Chain A
Amino acid sequence: MNDLRARIAEIIARDRARHARAEGADSAGARGGSPRRASAPSAPVLSSLGHDAEARVASSEERTAAEKRPPAAAFEVREQRIALDDLGLEVVGRGACDALLLAHLGLKGEPPRDWTDILFLDTETTGLAGGTGTYVFLIGLAHIANGELVLRQHLLRDISAENEFVEHLKRELEPYRACASYNGKTFDIPLLRTRFVMAIRSELTVDESHLDLLHPARRLWKDRFGSTTLRQLEDSILDDGRVADIPGSCIPDAYFHYLRRGDEAIIAPVITHNARDVISLVRIADRVAGAVLDARTGNAPAHAPASFALARVFERTGELEAAFGCYESAYYDGDNELRVRLALPYARALERRGERDRAVQMLETLLALGLGSVRWREQVESRLRRLARRKAMKKAGPRADPAFANATA
Chain B
Amino acid sequence: MTLERTFHIVLGLMRTSVRFPARTSLEQILDTLAADRDFQELVTRWERMPARPARYAAFPEWLEGRITAALRRRGINELYSHQAAALESTHAGRHTVVVTPTASGKTLCYNLPVLDAIAKDPSARALYIFPTKALSQDQLAELERESTDIDIELKTYTYDGDTPPAVRAAIRSAGHVVITNPDMLHTGILPHHTKWVKLFENLRFVVLDELHTYRGVFGSHVANVLRRLRRICEFYGSHPVFICTSATIANPEELARRHVEDDVVLIDESGAPRGEKVLVFVNPPVVNRNLGVRRSALLTGRDIAATLLASGVQTIAFARSRVETELLLTYLRSRFPQPQWPQDLIRGYRGGYLPSERRAIERGLRDGSVRGVVSTNALELGIDIGALQAAVLLGYPGTVASTWQQMGRAGRREDLSAAFLVATSSPIDQYVVQHPEYVLDRSPEAGLVNPDNLHVLVHHLKCAAFEIPFEQRERFGTEDTPGVLAYLDEQGVLHEAGGKYHWSDQAFPAETTSLRTATNDNVVIVDTTGPAPRTVGSEHHDGKAKVIGEIDRFAAQVLLHEQAIYLHESKQFQVERLDWDNAKAYVREVKVDYYTQAELAVRIRVIDEFDRRSASRGFDLAHGEVLVSTLTTIFKKLTMYTHENVGWGKIHLPEQELQTTSFWCSLPERVVAGWPRERIEIALAGLGNLLHGLAPLLLMCDPHDLGLAVEVRSPHTERPTIYLFDMTPGGIGFAERLFSSAPVLFDRAREHLASCGCQTGCPSCVGPAYALGAEVRESVAHLLSLA
Residue positions of A touching B, CB distance < 8 A:
1, 4-5, 7-9, 11-12, 14-15, 18-19, 35, 126-133, 135, 158-161, 193-194, 197-198, 252-253, 256, 259-260
In the bound complex, how far is the Cα of B458 from the Cα of A265, in angstroms? 34
A35 to B, closest residue via Cβ: B506
A to B CB contacts below 8 Å, 24 in the list: A4-B480, A7-B736, A8-B488, A11-B455, A12-B488, A12-B491, A14-B730, A19-B512, A35-B506, A126-B503, A127-B508, A128-B506, A130-B192, A131-B192, A132-B467, A133-B467, A160-B502, A194-B192, A194-B194, A198-B194, A256-B492, A256-B504, A259-B497, A259-B504
Say whether B483 faces chain A, with CB atoms less than 8 Å apart.
yes
- Give the CA-CA distance A143 to B488 in the complex, in Å: 41
Known: A5-B487, A8-B458, A133-B191. A259 touches B512 (CB 8 A): no
B480 to chain A: which residues have CB within 8 Å? 4
- A4 and B483 in contact, given A12-B491, A132-B194, A133-B467 (Cβ under 8 angstroms): yes
Q: Please measure, in the bound complex, the distance between the C-alpha atom of A181 and the C-alpha atom of B678, giving whole angstroms.
A: 76
- Across the two chains, which residue of chain A brings its CB closest to B502? A159
Interface readout for B724-750 with A: 1 if CB under 8 Å, 0 if not?
A: 000000100000100000000000000
> If the complex has contacts A14-B730, A259-B497, are A9 and B487 also in contact, measured as CB distance less than 8 A?
yes
Cβ distance A198 to chain B, nearest Cβ, rounded Å: 6
Contacts of A256 in B (CB 8 A): 492, 495, 504-505
Which residues of chain B have C-beta atoms less than 8 A from A161's C-beta?
A: 498
Cβ contact of B484, chosen from A8, A18, A133, cutoff 8 A:
A8
Q: Is B777 an interface residue (CB 8 A)?
A: no
B454 within 8 A of A: yes
Q: How far is the CB of B241 from chain A (nearest CB, A)?
A: 24
Closest Cβ of chain A: how far from B469's Cβ, in Å?
A: 8
Q: Is the CB of B498 within 8 A of A127?
A: no
Known interface pairs A126-B504, A256-B504; 17 further A-B residue pairs with C-beta atoms within 8 A, sorted by A's residue number: A8-B484, A12-B488, A14-B730, A18-B730, A129-B507, A131-B510, A132-B192, A132-B193, A133-B467, A133-B508, A159-B495, A159-B504, A160-B497, A160-B500, A194-B195, A197-B194, A260-B492
Q: Contacts A11-B458, A198-B194 given: A126-B506 contact, CB under 8 Å?
A: yes
The complex places the Cα of A9 from the Cα of B454 at a distance, in Å, of: 11
Contacts of A158 in B (CB 8 A): 497-498
A129 touches B508 (CB 8 A): yes
Closest to B625 in A: A14
B293 at the interface (CB under 8 A from A): no
Cross-chain contact A131 with B504 (CB below 8 angstroms): no
A128 and B506 alpha carbons, distance in the complex (Å): 7
* Residue of B454, B465, B488, B499 with most chain A CB atoms under a 10 A cut-off: B454
How many Å lie between the Cα of A259 and that of B497 in the bound state? 9
* Residues of the B chain whose Cβ atoms lie less than 8 Å from the Cβ of A197: 194, 197
A135 vs B503: C-alpha distance when bound (angstroms):
9
Q: Give chain B interface residues in 455-497, CB to chain A under 8 Å.
A: 455, 458-459, 465-468, 480, 483-484, 487-488, 491-493, 495, 497
Nearest to B730 among chain A residues (CB) is A14
Q: How many residues of B contact A (CB 8 A)?
A: 40
* Chain B residues with CB under 8 A of A198: 194, 468
Q: Is the CB of A131 within 8 A of B506?
A: no
Q: With the chains together, A5 CA to B493 CA distance in Å?
A: 14
Contact yes or no, B502 A7, CB < 8 A: no
Least CB distance from A381 to B in Å reads 22
Chain A residues within 8 Å of B503, by CB: 126, 133
A128 to B505, CA, bound (A): 11
User: Once the chains bind, are B508 and A159 in contact (CB under 8 Å)?
Assistant: no
Interface of A is mostly: helix
User: Which partner residue on chain A sits nearest B507 by CB separation?
Assistant: A19
In the assembly, what is the distance between CA of A373 and CA of B651, in Å?
A: 47
A260 touching B495, Cβ below 8 Å = yes
Chain B residues whose C-beta falls within 8 Å of the C-beta of A19 in the assembled complex: 507, 512
Asked whether, in the complex, the Cβ of A18 is within 8 Å of the Cβ of B512, the reply is: yes
Could you tell me if B497 and A159 are in contact, using CB atoms closer than 8 angstroms? yes
* Residues of A with C-beta under 8 A to B499: 160
Q: Choose from B458, B465, B498, B512 the contact partner of A133 (Cβ within 8 Å).
A: B465
Q: What is the CA–CA distance of A7 and B480 in the complex, to the nearest angstrom?
A: 13
A127 near B506 with CB under 8 A, answer yes
A380 to B502, alpha carbons, bound, how many Å? 61
Residues of chain A lying within 8 A (CB to CB) of residue B487: 4-5, 8-9
The residues of B that contact A133 with a CB separation of less than 8 Å are 191, 465-467, 503, 508-509
* Most central of A4, A128, A159, A260 by chain B CB within 10 Å: A159
How close is A139's CB to chain B, nearest CB, in angstroms?
Answer: 18
How far is B465's CA from A114's CA once the two chains are assembled, in angstroms?
Answer: 43
A126-B504, A129-B506, A131-B466 given; A1·B497 CB < 8 A: no
Q: Which residues of B contact A15 (CB under 8 A)?
A: 459, 512
Shortest Cβ distance from residue A36 to the other chain B in the assembled complex, whole angstroms: 8
Q: Which of A11, A159, A253, A260 contacts B506 (CB 8 A)?
A: A253
Which residues of chain B come closer than 8 Å to A159, judged between CB atoms? Answer: 495, 497-498, 502, 504
CA of A319 to CA of B774, assembled, Å: 95
Alpha-carbon gap, A83 to B458, bound state (A): 53
Residue among A4, A131, A160, A253 with max Cβ neighbours from chain B (10 Å) = A131
- Scan residues 185-227 of chain B and give those whose CB is less than 8 A from a CB of chain A: 191-195, 197
Q: Please determine whether A1 and B483 come into contact, CB atoms closer than 8 angstroms.
A: yes
Which of chain A's residues have a CB closer than 8 A to the CB of B736?
Answer: 7
**CB-nearest residue of chain A relative to B493?**
A12
Distance in Å: Cβ of B510 to nearest Cβ of chain A: 8
Report whether B497 and A132 are in contact in the complex, using a CB–CB cutoff of 8 Å. no
Note all chain B residues with C-beta closer than 8 A to A194. Answer: 192, 194-195
Smallest CB-CB A-B distances: 8 pairs: A160-B498, A133-B466, A129-B508, A133-B503, A160-B497, A197-B194, A131-B191, A127-B506
Neighbouring B residues of A126 by C-beta, 8 Å:
503-504, 506
Interface centre among A127, A128, A253 (most CB of B within 10 A): A127
Complexed CA–CA distance, A5 and B488 (Å):
10
Minimum CB distance partner of B480 in chain A: A4
Residue of A nearest to B503 (CB): A133
Q: B667 → chain A, closest Cβ, in Å?
A: 29
Q: How far is the CB of B738 from chain A (nearest CB, A)?
A: 15
Give chain B nearest CB distance to A168 CB in angstroms: 16
Are B454 and A4 in contact, with the CB atoms below 8 A?
yes
Verify B495–A4 contact, CB threshold 8 A. Answer: no
Given B191, B492, B495, B498, which contacts A132 in the complex, CB threshold below 8 Å?
A: B191
Q: Are A131 and B495 in contact (CB under 8 A)?
A: no
B186 CB to nearest chain A CB (Å): 12
**Contact for A131 among B500, B502, B508, CB less than 8 A:** B508
Alpha-carbon gap, A198 to B504, bound state (A): 16
How many angstroms from the CA of A360 to the CA of B732 in the assembled complex? 73
A129 to B502, CA, bound (A): 16
- Cα of A130 to Cα of B466 in the assembled complex, Å: 11
Give Cα A15 to B461, complex, Å.
Answer: 14
Instruction: Determine the residue in chain B with the shortest Cβ distance to A22.
Output: B512
Min CB–CB distance B596 → chain A (angstroms): 35
Query: In the assembly, what is the distance between CA of A350 and CA of B458, in Å?
Result: 68
Contacts of A8 in B (CB 8 A): 454, 458, 484, 487-488
Residue of A nearest to B740 (CB): A3
Closest to B513 in A: A15
A256-B494 Cα distance, complex, nearest whole Å: 9
Chain A residues within an 8 Å CB radius of B500: 160
**Least CB separation from A14: chain B residue:** B730
Q: A375 CB to closest chain B CB, in angstroms?
A: 16
State the Cβ distance, B1 to closest chain A Cβ, in Å. 47
**Complex interface: chain A residues within 8 A of B492 (CB):** 256, 260
Bound-state Cα–Cα, A198 to B495, Å = 17
Chain B residues whose CB sits within 8 angstroms of the CB of A132 once the complex forms:
191-194, 466-468
Q: Please give, as numbers and ranges, the residues of chain A lying within 8 Å of B504 by CB-CB distance.
A: 126, 159, 256, 259
Identify the closest chain B residue to A133 (Cβ): B466
8 A Cβ contacts from B414-465 to A? 454-455, 458-459, 465
Report whether B466 and A4 are in contact in the complex, using a CB–CB cutoff of 8 Å: no
Find chain A residues with CB under 8 A from B467 CB: 132-133
> B730 — which chain A residues lie within 8 A by C-beta?
14, 18
Which residues from chain A contact B497 at a C-beta distance below 8 Å?
158-160, 259
